[in-house]
Structure 1
Amino acid sequence: MNMDTEKRVHKLFGGASSSLNKTDPEFAGIIANFSQGEVIEANKLTEKEQMLCILSALLGCQGMGEFQNMLHAALNMGIDPIVIKEVIYQATAYLGIGRTYDFLMAANQIMEQHEIKLPLATQATTNEKTRFVDGLAKQVELFGENMAKRQTDGPVLRRNINRWLADNCFGDYYTRNGLNDQEREMITFCFILAQGGCENQLRGHTAGNFGVGNDKEKLYSIVEQCMPYIGYPRSLNAMNIIDEVSRAWENQ
C-alpha cells in the first residue's frame, strides 16, 4: 500500500471494525490498494459524490458489513449526516423497506457512536395534501409531460402504482431537502445498477441523469466508483446501457 493510500485508509476508517488485517492481510491489502487507491485516483467525482455512490451501491447490493465501514468513512470525511439519511430514505423507494430497514438501524447506531444527535432536522417539503401534486410536478420536471399522462391515460390496472410513483416515490422522497436533483438521480442510478435485474429502470434513470446534467462521462465515473463494491458484470452491463441511452439521446 503506497503512503497516500495508507494515509487515506487510516483517516477514513477510524472507528470501523474489521478483522481482515489479521486474518486475511493480503486480501485486505488488495482491496485497500484498489478501492481506496487506484479507483479513487482515476475517479473524476467529488469526494461527496464518491461517497454517495459507494453508500448507494452498497444499499443496492445489500452489502451491510462494508456499508457500515463506509458509513464510518463518510462521517470521518465530514459528509453531512442529513445527506446520508436522505440516501437511505430514498433507497426505500427502489429497494423496499425490507431491504433498507436494517441499514437505517445500523446507520443510527453508527451515528450515535459519532455523537450525532438523533433525530436529525426535518427535510420534508410536502404534506398529505400536497405530496401528490408536488411529486407529480417533480416527475414531470425530471422526466417530461408523459409522466402526467400516466395518471389519466395509463392502464387501469396500473392506476394505483402510477399514483404511488407520484405521491410516494417522488412526493415523499424527491421533494425533500438535503440532496439536489443531480444527486438524487445519481444515487437512484446506483441503487438500480447495484441490485441488478432492473435494466429497463436503469435505462429510464440513465435518461433521467442526462436530463439533470449528469452526462455520459460522469455516469461512467459513477459506475467506476461503484465497481469495487458490486463487481465487473453489473458494472459492464450498466456501461452498455449508458452507451445505448446516449446514442438514443443524441438522435432525439
Structure 2
Amino acid sequence: MASRFNQTAPQSNWVVTALFGGTYQRDGLSLRDRQLVNLAALTAVGGVDPQLRGHVLTGLRVGLTRTEIAEVFVHLAPYIGVPKALAGLRVATAVLDGAER
C-alpha cells in the first residue's frame, strides 16, 4: 500500500515509517496484543473497513483465533455502540470466512 501512495505523494513513506514503524518496535505489547488494540480502535473510529480488513488478517498471522477476533467486537458493543460493533463484526466475518477458503 505504501508504494502505491509513493507514486502520488512520495512523502507518504515517511509518514508510514515514522508513525507506524517505531510504534510496532516498542516494548510493552506483543504484536498479537497490538492487533487487538488496532481492531478495537479502528472499529471505534468507524468508516475504515479496508484498514480493519487488513488488521483482521494480520491478527490471524500473529496468532489471534477467530473466536478472539469475534470477541473484540462483542466486548466493544457497550463501549462504542452496537451499530459500530456490528459493522466491525461484519467486516471481520467476511475476512475470516474468506481466510478459511
TM-score past 0.5 threshold: yes
Q: Does 1:173 align with 2:23?
A: yes
Q: Does 1:182 align with 2:32?
A: yes
Q: Match of 1:223?
A: 73
How much has 1:199 moved relative to structure 2? Answer: 1.1
- After superposition, the C-alpha distances for 1:155-184 in whole angstroms (9 at most, x for unaligned) are 51133223321x223322110001110011
Q: TM-score, normalised by structure 2?
A: 0.87
Supply the AA of the counterpart residue of 1:193. Answer: T
- After superposition, the C-alpha distances for 1:33-89 in whole angstroms (9 at most, x for unaligned) are xxxxxxxxxxxxxxxxxxxxxxxxxxxxxxxxxxxxxxxxxxxxxxxxxxxxxxxxx
Q: Does 1:158 align with 2:9?
A: yes
| Aligned length in residues | 100
Aligned residue runs from structure 1 range 233-244, under 5 A:
233-244=83-94
- After superposition, the C-alpha distances for 1:213-247 in whole angstroms (9 at most, x for unaligned) are 11211011111111110111011111111111012
Runs of 5+ unmatched residues, structure 1: 1-146
Q: Match of 2:47?
A: 197
In structure 2, the residue corresponding to 1:159 is in which secondary structure?
coil
- Of 232, 235, 241 in structure 1, the residue corresponding to residue 82 of structure 2 is 232
Aligned residue runs from structure 1 range 23-34, under 5 A:
none
Supply the AA of the counterpart residue of 2:10. Answer: R
Contact residue 216 and residue 242 of structure 1 kept, 8 A: no
- After superposition, the C-alpha distances for 1:82-114 in whole angstroms (9 at most, x for unaligned) are xxxxxxxxxxxxxxxxxxxxxxxxxxxxxxxxx
Q: TM-score, normalised by structure 1?
A: 0.37
Q: Match of 1:246?
A: 96
Supply the AA of the counterpart residue of 1:162. Answer: N
How much has 1:189 moved relative to structure 2? Answer: 1.0
The CA distance in 1 between the partners of 2:54 and 2:9, in whole Å, is: 18
The CA distance in 2 between the partners of 1:190 and 1:228, in whole Å, is: 12
Identity score, percent: 27
Runs of 5+ unmatched residues, structure 2: none
Q: Match of 1:131?
A: none
Aligned residue runs from structure 1 range 1-252, under 5 A:
150-151=2-3, 154=4, 155-165=6-16, 167-251=17-101
The CA distance in 1 between the partners of 2:76 and 2:11, in whole Å, is: 33
